Amino acid sequence: MQISTKGKYSVRAVLDIAQHSNGAPVPLAAISKREGISLLFLEQLFQQLRKGNVVNSIRGPHGGYLLARDPGDITIGEIVRLIEPPLYASSCFSQDESAEKCRIADTCIGGAIWKQLAEHVDNFLDSISLADLANQTKPEVVYGLRMKSNKLLADRSKRVEAVQEAEAVEVA
């Protein structure tokens, strides 16, 4: 699985707004310069981000883009899903084929693995908000992400144990 340049640049650009806005619109030209991303490429990405209610545009000489919502309410997962095709659909199926139409869906173990992987990736990306990343040093971000990942894994282990205990009670 690989996130495309479009996905990576979208996250960087929206994070740039979270870090530099201070309540004022941020021009795409400023984001382009700071992030080293083509202005034309940013314009294409921001059309989708605006439609997805991640950013709002302000026209005029002092215009630019603002976050559409509080940075704590916008997740990295939301941004990536606006720009990237679904991870599960692209992992195992072509654009024209879905899991429901797969001729070996009833017996394919690989499809179940890729679907679970996509769910884990989505859960992890959804656990990270712009507020978690904005105005922090890289070591702080890395530490925070490691803690989130460990918490997600621990929560999942607890759920699996609870299901196993419930199944053991039903058998007995």
Give helix 76-83 / helix 109-126 axis angle, nearest 10°. 130
Q: What percent of the chain has pLDDT over 90?
A: 48
CB 141 within 8 A of CB 133: yes
Of 78-82, 142-146, 150-154, which one has max mean pLDDT? 78-82
- Taking the C-alpha atoms of residue 108 and residue 114, their distance in angstroms, rounded to an integer, is 11
Phi, psi of 24 (to 5 degrees): -105, 150
Which uninterrupted H or E stretch holds 49?
helix 39-51
Alpha-carbon span 164 to 170, nearest angstrom: 10
Furthest-apart CA pair in the chain: how many Å?
A: 73
Give the pLDDT confidence of 112-129 residue by residue, as tens digits. Answer: 787 788 888 888 899 999
In this prediction, residue 58 has a pLDDT band, given cuts at 50, 70 and 90, of very high
More confident residue, 108 or 61: 61
Residue-wise pLDDT for 129-147, tens only, equals 999 999 888 898 889 889 9
Q: Indicate the helix (H) or strand (E) that contains 9.
A: helix 5-20
